[in-house]
Structure 1
Amino acid sequence: MLFGAGAGMLAGLACGGGSGDDARPAVLAHIGHDVAAPAFATLHERAGALVAALEPLCAGPDATTLAAAQAAWSEERDAWSRVLPFGFGPLPPELNALDFWPVRVDTVETAVAGAPAAADAGYLGGLGVSAKGMPALEYLLWGEDPGAALTAFQSEDGARRCGYARALAVDIEARTDALATAWASEYADALATAGTGSAAYPSLKAGVDEVINKSIDACLTMVKGKLDNPLGNLSGAAEDPSLMESRFSGRTRADLQANLAGVWAVYHGADLDAPAAGISVLVAALDPALDERVRAQYARTVEVLVAVPEPLTEALVADRTAVQLARDELDTFRRLLKLDVASTLGVTLALSDNDGD
């Protein structure tokens, strides 16, 4: 049982009341300024590096220049995966144009075949989202079989193909620039000033609700979209590696690890070696045992996910049990956020399709 002023302060945290001791403004400011804004800045910085890596590849496609472009794409993909819990503010309108998957190979090949010698924004503007974004560029940089991408870039039509790949990278850079600018110039402040003048969040509760709901949604995307679908859990079908993201580069697991790291940065805070500054602060104030349970489940989820061998597309068939276990531990983590953390903090849950609980 809680007594005295401490009980009043904690009740204020849970119910949305005002208090000079309310930690929510500091937590939201930290998430906006120290977690989200830097994550989007890194995303844009790595997008610029990806454009730069395409230049030598197009000028002289060989194993070295291709490997450098692939490494730049992987770095950008890691940064993208970490912003998954920030599926609000300026991000939603850009989601499909940046990350349409599973890749429709035929659509990408048709776009390449119809591209001018120097594809540009004007040409991309007339195409659908299935021909754009990081997954389409991944396909061009790796191909469906080992060695296929280099052979294609060195072919008679290789310049057109690489020109299209570069146009995709330029488009990604422009879109991530807009996202990074929006977070740096206004959206971090919108979150930090929830309840004190924010046009987006009229109350502190609205800000906390947004952050918690989007972390839950991120976990739902990992569980349902990225694992249940290829596992066949939703349809009863056989395992289907073609439904996995980043399947050409073989970094499906790395994407999931980065997704989870992004959610954890929201929960713990930007600096993993420092005391908690994120949502954990609010949870620990109300229910220290729950905070410890969340931390233990996060560690368990990381452990099980790391144990699944890459590429996950092969493990899906060769070691389905390991993939299913990773899915189940991720879902346990999600359910802790949705059923326990949200309830403890008095969060009004948003409706999500097919979450099952």
Structure 2
Amino acid sequence: MSRSAALAAVALLALAPGCAITPIEDARQELLLSWGAWLLDRYDATAAAADALETQVEALCAAPDAAGLAAARDAWDAARRPWKEAEVFAFGPYSEEPIRLGPKVDFWPARPDSVRAVLADTAPIDASQLGAPAKGFAAIELVLWDPDGAPLAALAAEPRRCAYLAAVVPDLAARVRELRAVWDPAGQDFLGELTAAGERDTQYASLQLAFGEVVNRVGYLLENIRAEKLGKPLGVTAGSAQPERVESPFSGRGLGDIRDNLVGARRLLLGDGAGDLGLDGYLRGRGRHLAPLLTARFDAALAALDALDAPLTAAIEADPASVEALFDRVGELQRAVQVDVLGALSVTVGFNDADGD
């Protein structure tokens, strides 16, 4: 489904008979509808890229060579990008039981021993029977960038590695589509829990609470980047440096993951300039002009990220001062969201329930 089609579908929720909503609530609802359409689009892009990854992995396993390995790695990266942009929505069916699909797609920190245990076993591989640490992005990453040796030689010498990829790569696409279906108004409609809050019996008692949930999640994401993705590996929030805790450690994509997170957060707050709504327009309507502050803070964080020209693990060891600068800039952006933005919206900073996986 295209983004415009998704927006049209979720907009029907706002037009249900008997709905009496104030103009301010209409604006909040319109934002939630736009954000929901964007989320569905990001999940569509992830699933489509995961399908392409499956095709590349099949070709690689049929004839292992350097070009095939590079193509499979590029396909993994292409699937990773829209998924990480959407991480601000890591709540509801992403993280909560009984569904909790997020860790099945993107378990972190990675647990290499869980993957190696499957590779060392001889039983048939059934992705539905694997625990979250043994499948998803991190598991596929380990096989394609094996830190223990030459991944291409291992793929050629150990048929089980290709059998493993043949099980977990399609499962990745399936779990992303399952998560999308839970959010989809035409599916289980978790999105309606937000957009129809206060109009029907939903998880959120009012549209203000639903709206505050999403805006709070932007702050949580920035807090997680600062404390978990940078602070713990750097040793700032964990007592001693733990570079092995970086995200996407085998591919060296940790900084790319952070960049994609920031792109997604910026999209929600500032829009994309192509008709998709951002929170800044709503704030302007309330007489609060925070776009210059937010733009400056995003630009500063991205500039600090761009100043790092090595994978995050290497940068922590070779240039910790530059990583600390990124840590500080993300902290300044986090404060702008959790103090200035939430204050302007009369939204209380909530409890960050993220647990790192």
| Partner-residue secondary structure (3-state), 1:154 | helix
Q: Once the 2 structures are TM-superposed, how far is the Cα of residue 120 of structure 1 from its aligned partner? A: 2.7
Residue in 2 that maps onto 1:13: none
Q: Once the 2 structures are TM-superposed, how far is the Cα of residue 183 of structure 1 from its aligned partner? A: 2.4
- Mapped to 1, the partners of 2:336 and 2:290 lie a distance apart of 9
1:86 aligns with 2:93: no
Q: One-letter code of the match for 1:40?
A: Y
Q: Once the 2 structures are TM-superposed, how far is the Cα of residue 235 of structure 1 from its aligned partner? A: 2.6
After superposition, the Cα gap between the structure-2 partners of 1:354 and 1:128, relative to the gap in structure 1 and judged at 3 Å, is closer
1:40 aligns with 2:23: no
After superposition, the Cα gap between the structure-2 partners of 1:234 and 1:322, relative to the gap in structure 1 and judged at 3 Å, is same
Runs of 4+ in 1 over 4 A off after TM superposition: none
Unmatched segments (≥5 aa) in structure 2? 1-19
- Mapped to 1, the partners of 2:238 and 2:125 lie a distance apart of 39
Which structure is higher in RCO with an 8 Å CA cutoff and minimum separation 6? 1
Residue in 2 that maps onto 1:200: 203
Q: One-letter code of the match for 1:119?
A: I
1:27 aligns with 2:34: no
| 8 Å Cα contact 1:115-1:164 kept in structure 2 | no
Question: For 1:118-129, what aligned pairs fall within 5 Å after superposition?
Answer: 119-121=125-127, 124-125=128-129, 127-129=130-132
- Please, which moves more after superposition, 287-296 or 328-337? 287-296
Q: Once the 2 structures are TM-superposed, how far is the Cα of residue 129 of structure 1 from its aligned partner? A: 2.1
Unmatched segments (≥5 aa) in structure 1? 1-16
1:82-141 Cα offsets, whole Å, 9 max, x none, are 11100123211012222222322222111111144x6233xx51x332222211110110
Q: Once the 2 structures are TM-superposed, how far is the Cα of residue 18 of structure 1 from its aligned partner? A: 5.5
- Mapped to 2, the partners of 1:54 and 1:354 lie a distance apart of 32
| 8 Å Cα contact 2:268-2:279 kept in structure 1 | yes
1:231-251 Cα offsets, whole Å, 9 max, x none, are 0112321x3321111111111
Q: One-letter code of the match for 1:47?
A: A
**Residue 252 of structure 2, aligned match among 250, 253, 259:** 250
Residue in 2 that maps onto 1:11: none
Q: Once the 2 structures are TM-superposed, how far is the Cα of residue 188 of structure 1 from its aligned partner? A: 3.4
Question: For 1:153-302, what aligned pairs fall within 5 Å after superposition?
Answer: 153-155=155-157, 158-184=158-184, 185=186, 186-197=189-200, 199-237=202-240, 239-269=241-271, 272-274=272-274, 277-302=277-302
Residue in 1 that maps onto 2:4: none
Residue in 1 that maps onto 2:63: 60
Q: Once the 2 structures are TM-superposed, how far is the Cα of residue 219 of structure 1 from its aligned partner? A: 1.0
| Partner-residue secondary structure (3-state), 1:83 | helix
Q: Once the 2 structures are TM-superposed, how far is the Cα of residue 202 of structure 1 from its aligned partner? A: 3.3
| 8 Å Cα contact 1:24-1:204 kept in structure 2 | yes
**Residue 95 of structure 1, aligned match among 91, 94, 102:** 102
Q: Once the 2 structures are TM-superposed, how far is the Cα of residue 144 of structure 1 from its aligned partner? A: 0.7
Residue in 1 that maps onto 2:112: 105
After superposition, the Cα gap between the structure-2 partners of 1:325 and 1:162, relative to the gap in structure 1 and judged at 3 Å, is same
- Mapped to 2, the partners of 1:292 and 1:274 lie a distance apart of 19
Alignment length, in residue pairs? 328
Q: One-letter code of the match for 2:54?
A: V
1:152-210 Cα offsets, whole Å, 9 max, x none, are 1111xx21111102211121111011012222322334433333336233321022111
Q: Once the 2 structures are TM-superposed, how far is the Cα of residue 311 of structure 1 from its aligned partner? A: 1.3
CA RMSD in angstroms, aligned pairs only = 2.2
Q: Please give the TM-score of this superposition, normalised by the length of structure 2.
A: 0.85
| Partner-residue secondary structure (3-state), 1:90 | helix
| 8 Å Cα contact 1:213-1:350 kept in structure 2 | yes
Q: Please give the TM-score of this superposition, normalised by the length of structure 1.
A: 0.85
| Partner-residue secondary structure (3-state), 1:288 | coil
| Partner-residue secondary structure (3-state), 2:101 | helix
Q: One-letter code of the match for 1:85?
A: V
- Mapped to 2, the partners of 1:91 and 1:337 lie a distance apart of 23
- Mapped to 2, the partners of 1:151 and 1:105 lie a distance apart of 19
Q: Percent identity?
A: 33
| Partner-residue secondary structure (3-state), 1:325 | helix
Residue in 1 that maps onto 2:307: 307
After superposition, the Cα gap between the structure-2 partners of 1:60 and 1:101, relative to the gap in structure 1 and judged at 3 Å, is same
Q: Once the 2 structures are TM-superposed, how far is the Cα of residue 38 of structure 1 from its aligned partner? A: 0.8
